[in-house]
């Protein structure tokens, strides 16, 4: 039976041979012979060769076999491929948040050198990360909002000398350009308190990464402004559980003058929209990857300076390539809130 491992045997052999022969053309045998050489099925060898032809590494020869293409050879000995690992490494679809951070980081990397390439990694389980990196012959690894369990295996790769950086999350032992969760909560609540909005609901994910700094940021803001901590309610439940709890609170007569979506849920936004006037009565806060054109959003939108953050990220990545012994560095991602009315930005809030 055809397996991905069999496919990769052929692929790695061809690419490695092309790379090590500089600008000299290389003739490869027909797929039948390649299959015999590596003990794989001929359909597997054929699939691998066809993929390499489509990608520009090979061209078919008259009489059978393939020949490496000069255009590819000119770059192959300089090309560096960096893996992009999103969240757990098993994303089956994209959303706006992951598209934003992935494209920003990848574009900044490839802007630096025409020989840099990126490859999205799919890892069935975190322990397979090292094997995947080795099979793909990667020059480095960019973690995009990676979970801690996955990051622990990436940290082991970093110890072996592979350049590894983290985008959006601070990961111990790995250079990170990260979202300052505690500071964002702290500053946002202080702005709300200054407006006289002191009964705030914060909605977030039920994970340790976000909940601890959210609670710390809220506690700091309350202490500085003299606001009772009990007036800030933090719901770290699933969307269904949070929606049910909010219904219960509203039926009981509890009201909020601000709702801070650290994790945005359209269904809950619509639920609250039916009960509150977002223009004056209740202020809504979310980040810019949550606002779509069809939402007709009114409230604060937190914009992250991803472009400058990506510059810092790639600086850290390439610095590791030159100085593998360099200790991990940590940088904040800048942010600022913008006021929106009915889906239109009306000004930055400083």
What tokens appear for 244 in the block?
């049910």
Q: Does residue 103 sit within a domain?
A: yes
Looking at the structure, do residues 266 and 192 belong to the same domain, yes or no? yes
115 vs 106 pLDDT, higher one: 106
| Domain assignment present for 340 | no
Do residue 157 and residue 212 come from a single domain?
Answer: no
Note down the domain range covering 61: 4-75
d(CA 232, CA 201): 6
Check whether 165 has a pLDDT greater than 90. Answer: yes
Tokens representing residue 142 in the block = 């960019």
Are 133 and 156 within one domain?
A: yes
Per DSSP, 87 falls in state T
Claim to verify: residue 61 and residue 198 sit in the same structural domain: no
Q: How many domains does the chain have?
A: 3
User: How many C-beta neighbours within 10 Å does residue 50 have?
Assistant: 14
Q: Are 154 and 141 in contact (CB under 8 A)?
A: yes
pLDDT of residue 20: 66
Task: Report yes or no on 298 lying in a domain.
Answer: no
Final residue of a domain: which of 55, 75, 95?
Answer: 75
Q: Please write the tens of the pLDDT for every residue from 325-337.
A: 989 999 999 999 9
CATH value at residue 121: 3.40.50.2300
The residue behind tokens 């590894």 is 164
Pair 121, 38 in one domain? no
Q: Check whether residue 219 and residue 200 sit in a common domain.
A: yes
Residue 300: inside a domain: no
DSSP secondary structure, 266-296, as one string = HHHHHHHHTTS-TTTT-EEEEETTS--GGG-
Question: In angstroms, how far is the first alpha carbon of the chain from the final one?
Answer: 62
Q: Is 296 inside any structural domain?
A: no
- pTM reported for the whole predicted model: 0.77
Is the pLDDT reported for residue 62 higher than 90?
Answer: no
Percent helix, strand, coil in the chain, to 5, is 45, 20, 35
Q: How far is CA 36 from CA 31, 32, 40, in A?
A: 9, 6, 7
In a domain, 297, yes or no: no
Residue 50 shares a structural domain with residue 86? no
Q: Which of 75, 94, 117 is the last residue of a domain?
A: 75
Distance CA(149)–CA(42), nearest Å, equals: 38
pLDDT tens sequence across 134-155: 888 899 999 999 988 899 999 9
Would residue 301 count as lying in a domain? Answer: no
259 and 234 within one domain: yes
Q: Say if residue 156 is in the same domain as residue 239.
A: no
Q: Do 276 and 252 contact (CB within 8 A), yes or no?
A: no
Assign residue 8 the CATH number of its domain.
1.10.10.10
Residues 49 and 60 in one domain: yes
Strand pairing report for 116-120 and 80-86: parallel
Pair 246, 98 in one domain: no
* Tens digits of residue pLDDT in 251-266: 888 889 999 999 888 8
Residue 350 lies in a domain: no
Predicted pLDDT at 90 = 79
From CA 180, how far away is CA 213, in angstroms rounded? 9
Span 177-197, pLDDT tens digits: 999 999 999 999 999 999 999
Mean pLDDT to the nearest integer, 269-283: 88
Domain's final residue, options 43, 75, 107: 75
- Same-domain status, 16 and 36: yes
């Amino acid at each position: 039976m055809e397996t991905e491992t069999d496919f990769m045997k052929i692929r790695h052999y061809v690419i490695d041979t092309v790379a090590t022969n500089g600008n000299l053309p290389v003739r490869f045998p027909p797929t039948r012979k390649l299959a015999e050489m590596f003990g794989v099925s001929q359909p597997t060898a054929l699939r691998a060769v066809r993929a390499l032809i489509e990608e520009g590494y090979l061209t078919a020869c008259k009489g059978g076999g393939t020949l490496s293409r000069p255009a590819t050879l000119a770059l192959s000995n300089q090309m560096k491929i960096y893996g992009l690992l999103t969240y757990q490494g098993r994303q089956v679809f994209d959303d706006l948040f992951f598209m934003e951070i992935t494209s920003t980081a990848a574009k900044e990397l490839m802007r630096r050198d025409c020989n840099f390439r990126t490859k999205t990694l799919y890892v069935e389980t975190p322990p397979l990360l090292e094997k995947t990196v080795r099979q793909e012959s990667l020059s480095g690894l960019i973690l995009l909002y990676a979970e801690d369990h996955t990051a622990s295996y990436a940290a082991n790769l970093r110890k072996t000398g592979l350049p590894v950086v983290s985008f959006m999350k601070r990961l111990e032992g790995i250079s990170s350009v990260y979202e300052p969760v505690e500071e964002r909560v702290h500053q946002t609540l202080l702005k709300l308190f200054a407006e006289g909005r002191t009964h705030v609901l914060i909605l977030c994910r039920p994970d340790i990464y976000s909940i601890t700094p959210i609670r710390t940021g809220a506690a700091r803001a309350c202490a500085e402004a003299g606001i009772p901590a009990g007036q800030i309610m933090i719901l770290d439940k699933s969307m269904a559980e949070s929606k049910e709890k909010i219904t219960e609170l509203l039926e009981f007569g509890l009201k909020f003058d601000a709702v801070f979506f650290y994790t945005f849920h359209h269904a809950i936004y619509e639920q609250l929209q039916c009960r509150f006037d977002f223009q004056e009565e209740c202020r809504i806060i979310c980040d810019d990857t949550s606002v779509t054109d069809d939402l007709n959003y009114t409230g604060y939108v937190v914009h992250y300076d991803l472009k400058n953050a990506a510059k810092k990220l790639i600086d850290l990545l390439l610095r590791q390539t030159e100085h593998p012994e360099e200790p991990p560095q940590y940088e904040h991602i800048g942010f600022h809130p913008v006021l929106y009315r009915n889906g239109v930005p009306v000004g930055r809030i400083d």
